[in-house]
Structure 1
Amino acid sequence: MKSNKNFEASAFVKYIRISPFKVRRILDQIRGRSVKESLIILKFMPYRSSPIILNILNSAQANFLNLYNEDSKLLYVIEARADSGPMLKRFCPHAQGRGFPIKKRTSHITSMV
Protein backbone atom coordinates (compact mmCIF):
# COMPACT_ATOMS: atom_id res chain seq x y z
CA MET A 1 0.00 0.00 0.00
CA LYS A 2 1.26 3.44 -0.86
CA SER A 3 2.03 5.96 1.84
CA ASN A 4 0.13 9.22 2.10
CA LYS A 5 3.22 11.21 1.15
CA ASN A 6 2.96 14.32 -1.00
CA PHE A 7 4.83 13.86 -4.25
CA GLU A 8 6.11 17.11 -5.71
CA ALA A 9 8.55 18.00 -8.45
CA SER A 10 9.52 21.41 -9.73
CA ALA A 11 11.30 23.08 -12.61
CA PHE A 12 12.39 26.65 -13.12
CA VAL A 13 14.09 28.94 -15.57
CA LYS A 14 15.83 32.19 -14.75
CA TYR A 15 16.65 35.44 -16.55
CA ILE A 16 14.06 35.05 -19.32
CA ARG A 17 13.86 38.30 -21.30
CA ILE A 18 10.11 38.79 -21.02
CA SER A 19 8.14 40.86 -18.55
CA PRO A 20 6.75 38.95 -15.55
CA PHE A 21 3.40 40.71 -16.04
CA LYS A 22 3.03 39.07 -19.45
CA VAL A 23 4.04 35.66 -18.08
CA ARG A 24 1.62 35.81 -15.13
CA ARG A 25 -1.44 36.14 -17.37
CA ILE A 26 -0.55 32.74 -18.87
CA LEU A 27 0.30 31.12 -15.54
CA ASP A 28 -3.05 32.19 -14.10
CA GLN A 29 -4.76 30.10 -16.78
CA ILE A 30 -2.96 26.83 -15.88
CA ARG A 31 -2.60 27.09 -12.09
CA GLY A 32 -4.62 24.34 -10.37
CA ARG A 33 -5.37 22.37 -13.55
CA SER A 34 -4.15 18.93 -14.49
CA VAL A 35 -0.85 18.79 -16.34
CA LYS A 36 -2.45 17.15 -19.36
CA GLU A 37 -5.06 19.91 -19.65
CA SER A 38 -2.41 22.60 -19.06
CA LEU A 39 -0.22 21.25 -21.85
CA ILE A 40 -3.14 21.42 -24.29
CA ILE A 41 -4.00 24.97 -23.24
CA LEU A 42 -0.38 26.14 -23.61
CA LYS A 43 0.03 24.48 -26.98
CA PHE A 44 -2.72 26.60 -28.55
CA MET A 45 -2.18 29.94 -26.78
CA PRO A 46 -0.88 32.65 -29.13
CA TYR A 47 1.41 34.41 -26.61
CA ARG A 48 5.21 34.58 -26.77
CA SER A 49 5.67 33.12 -23.29
CA SER A 50 3.54 30.02 -23.96
CA PRO A 51 6.34 27.86 -25.49
CA ILE A 52 8.66 28.77 -22.60
CA ILE A 53 6.08 27.77 -19.99
CA LEU A 54 5.31 24.61 -21.99
CA ASN A 55 8.98 23.58 -21.77
CA ILE A 56 9.06 24.28 -18.02
CA LEU A 57 5.93 22.20 -17.45
CA ASN A 58 7.35 19.32 -19.51
CA SER A 59 10.54 19.53 -17.48
CA ALA A 60 8.64 19.44 -14.17
CA GLN A 61 6.70 16.41 -15.40
CA ALA A 62 9.95 14.66 -16.39
CA ASN A 63 11.47 15.53 -13.00
CA PHE A 64 8.47 13.93 -11.31
CA LEU A 65 8.90 10.73 -13.34
CA ASN A 66 12.64 10.58 -12.56
CA LEU A 67 12.13 11.15 -8.84
CA TYR A 68 9.15 8.94 -8.06
CA ASN A 69 8.52 6.56 -11.00
CA GLU A 70 4.78 7.14 -10.54
CA ASP A 71 1.94 7.59 -13.02
CA SER A 72 2.01 11.14 -14.36
CA LYS A 73 -1.64 11.17 -15.49
CA LEU A 74 -2.83 12.36 -12.08
CA LEU A 75 -0.44 15.32 -11.87
CA TYR A 76 -1.71 18.81 -11.13
CA VAL A 77 -0.02 22.17 -11.36
CA ILE A 78 0.36 23.05 -7.68
CA GLU A 79 2.35 26.22 -8.11
CA ALA A 80 3.13 28.39 -11.11
CA ARG A 81 4.73 31.75 -10.52
CA ALA A 82 6.76 34.39 -12.28
CA ASP A 83 9.07 36.53 -10.18
CA SER A 84 10.84 39.56 -11.52
CA GLY A 85 14.52 39.29 -12.27
CA PRO A 86 17.07 42.05 -12.77
CA MET A 87 16.10 44.92 -15.05
CA LEU A 88 18.19 46.07 -17.98
CA LYS A 89 18.18 49.86 -17.87
CA ARG A 90 18.51 51.67 -21.18
CA PHE A 91 18.03 55.27 -22.26
CA CYS A 92 16.29 56.59 -25.34
CA PRO A 93 17.03 60.14 -26.54
CA HIS A 94 14.16 62.62 -26.30
CA ALA A 95 13.62 66.28 -27.10
CA GLN A 96 15.94 69.00 -25.84
CA GLY A 97 18.73 66.59 -24.92
CA ARG A 98 16.79 64.68 -22.33
CA GLY A 99 17.11 60.95 -21.84
CA PHE A 100 14.04 58.77 -21.38
CA PRO A 101 14.61 55.60 -19.30
CA ILE A 102 13.53 52.24 -20.68
CA LYS A 103 13.25 49.26 -18.32
CA LYS A 104 13.75 45.92 -20.03
CA ARG A 105 12.38 43.41 -17.55
CA THR A 106 13.43 39.80 -16.98
CA SER A 107 11.59 36.92 -15.30
CA HIS A 108 12.28 33.90 -13.14
CA ILE A 109 9.54 31.32 -13.83
CA THR A 110 8.85 28.42 -11.44
CA SER A 111 6.46 25.50 -11.92
CA MET A 112 5.64 22.80 -9.37
CA VAL A 113 3.58 19.66 -10.05
Structure 2
Amino acid sequence: MLRKRKKKTEVYALGRHISISADKARRVIDQIRGRSYEEKLMILELMPYRACYPIFSLVYSAAANAAYNMGSNEANLGFSKA
Protein backbone atom coordinates (compact mmCIF):
# COMPACT_ATOMS: atom_id res chain seq x y z
CA MET A 1 0.00 0.00 0.00
CA LEU A 2 1.47 3.32 -1.04
CA ARG A 3 1.00 6.40 1.06
CA LYS A 4 1.02 9.80 -0.46
CA ARG A 5 3.12 12.29 1.43
CA LYS A 6 1.69 15.69 2.02
CA LYS A 7 3.68 18.69 1.00
CA LYS A 8 5.42 20.23 3.96
CA THR A 9 4.08 23.74 4.27
CA GLU A 10 5.65 24.73 7.57
CA VAL A 11 9.06 26.23 8.03
CA TYR A 12 10.39 27.15 11.41
CA ALA A 13 13.32 28.72 13.20
CA LEU A 14 14.29 27.90 16.76
CA GLY A 15 15.97 30.27 19.16
CA ARG A 16 17.97 28.42 21.75
CA HIS A 17 20.19 29.67 24.54
CA ILE A 18 18.73 33.16 24.50
CA SER A 19 19.11 34.69 27.93
CA ILE A 20 15.90 36.71 28.13
CA SER A 21 13.03 36.14 30.52
CA ALA A 22 9.76 34.93 29.09
CA ASP A 23 7.92 38.03 30.29
CA LYS A 24 10.28 40.37 28.47
CA ALA A 25 10.11 38.33 25.28
CA ARG A 26 6.31 38.06 25.52
CA ARG A 27 6.04 41.86 25.78
CA VAL A 28 7.72 42.16 22.37
CA ILE A 29 6.01 39.16 20.73
CA ASP A 30 2.55 40.45 21.70
CA GLN A 31 3.27 43.64 19.74
CA ILE A 32 4.16 41.84 16.51
CA ARG A 33 1.61 39.01 16.61
CA GLY A 34 -0.85 39.15 13.70
CA ARG A 35 1.09 41.64 11.58
CA SER A 36 2.69 41.28 8.17
CA TYR A 37 6.36 40.40 7.70
CA GLU A 38 7.43 43.94 6.80
CA GLU A 39 5.56 45.43 9.76
CA LYS A 40 7.18 42.92 12.11
CA LEU A 41 10.66 43.84 10.99
CA MET A 42 9.94 47.56 11.21
CA ILE A 43 8.45 47.30 14.70
CA LEU A 44 11.33 45.16 15.95
CA GLU A 45 13.89 47.63 14.61
CA LEU A 46 12.23 50.59 16.29
CA MET A 47 11.29 49.17 19.69
CA PRO A 48 13.75 50.06 22.48
CA TYR A 49 13.76 46.69 24.25
CA ARG A 50 16.75 44.35 24.46
CA ALA A 51 14.58 41.36 23.55
CA CYS A 52 13.93 42.79 20.08
CA TYR A 53 17.23 41.77 18.49
CA PRO A 54 16.98 37.99 19.12
CA ILE A 55 13.32 38.00 18.03
CA PHE A 56 14.23 40.03 14.94
CA SER A 57 16.88 37.48 14.00
CA LEU A 58 14.41 34.61 14.48
CA VAL A 59 11.76 36.25 12.28
CA TYR A 60 14.37 37.00 9.63
CA SER A 61 15.73 33.44 9.84
CA ALA A 62 12.27 31.89 9.48
CA ALA A 63 11.64 34.00 6.39
CA ALA A 64 15.01 33.02 4.93
CA ASN A 65 14.25 29.35 5.59
CA ALA A 66 10.92 29.66 3.81
CA ALA A 67 12.48 31.43 0.85
CA TYR A 68 15.26 28.87 0.51
CA ASN A 69 13.40 25.64 1.25
CA MET A 70 10.04 26.35 -0.36
CA GLY A 71 10.81 29.14 -2.77
CA SER A 72 8.14 31.38 -1.30
CA ASN A 73 8.16 35.13 -1.15
CA GLU A 74 8.58 36.90 2.21
CA ALA A 75 5.58 39.12 1.52
CA ASN A 76 3.27 36.08 1.47
CA LEU A 77 4.39 34.65 4.81
CA GLY A 78 2.13 34.15 7.77
CA PHE A 79 3.42 33.21 11.20
CA SER A 80 1.39 30.69 13.17
CA LYS A 81 3.31 30.39 16.45
CA ALA A 82 5.66 32.48 18.48
What is the TM-score with the length of structure 1 in the denominator?
0.62
Task: State which structure, 1 or 2, has the greater radius of gyration over its C-alpha atoms.
Answer: 1
Deviation of residue 6 (structure 1)?
7.3
Aligned residues with identical type, % of pairs: 41
Deviation per CA, 1:52-108, whole angstroms, max 9, x where unpaired?
Answer: 10000000000001111122211122211xxxxxxxxxxxxxxxxxxxxxxxxxxxx
Give the letter for the 1:31 counterpart. Answer: R
**Which ranges in structure 1 are unaligned for 5 or more consecutive residues?**
81-113
- Counterpart-to-counterpart distance in 1, 2:8 and 2:42: 25
Q: Which runs of 4+ in 1 moved over 2 A?
A: 5-8
- Counterpart-to-counterpart distance in 1, 2:43 and 2:9: 24
Deviation of residue 17 (structure 1)?
1.2
Q: Secondary structure at the match of 1:54?
A: helix
| Larger strand fraction of residues | 1
| Larger helix fraction of residues | 2
Q: In the alignment, what sits opposite 2:4? A: none
Q: In the alignment, what sits opposite 2:3? A: none
Match of 1:18 among 12, 16, 20: 20
- Counterpart-to-counterpart distance in 2, 1:51 and 1:25: 13
Match of 2:45 among 36, 43, 57: 43
User: Which of structures 1 and 2 has the larger relative contact order (alpha carbons within 8 angstroms, sep 6+)?
Assistant: 1
Q: Calculate the aligned-residue CA RMSD, in Å.
A: 1.5
Q: Secondary structure at the match of 1:59?
A: helix
- Counterpart-to-counterpart distance in 2, 1:15 and 1:30: 22
**Which ranges in structure 2 are unaligned for 5 or more consecutive residues?**
1-6
Q: Report matched runs for 1:55-94 at 5 Å.
A: 55-80=57-82
Aligned residues: 76
- Counterpart-to-counterpart distance in 2, 1:33 and 1:6: 23
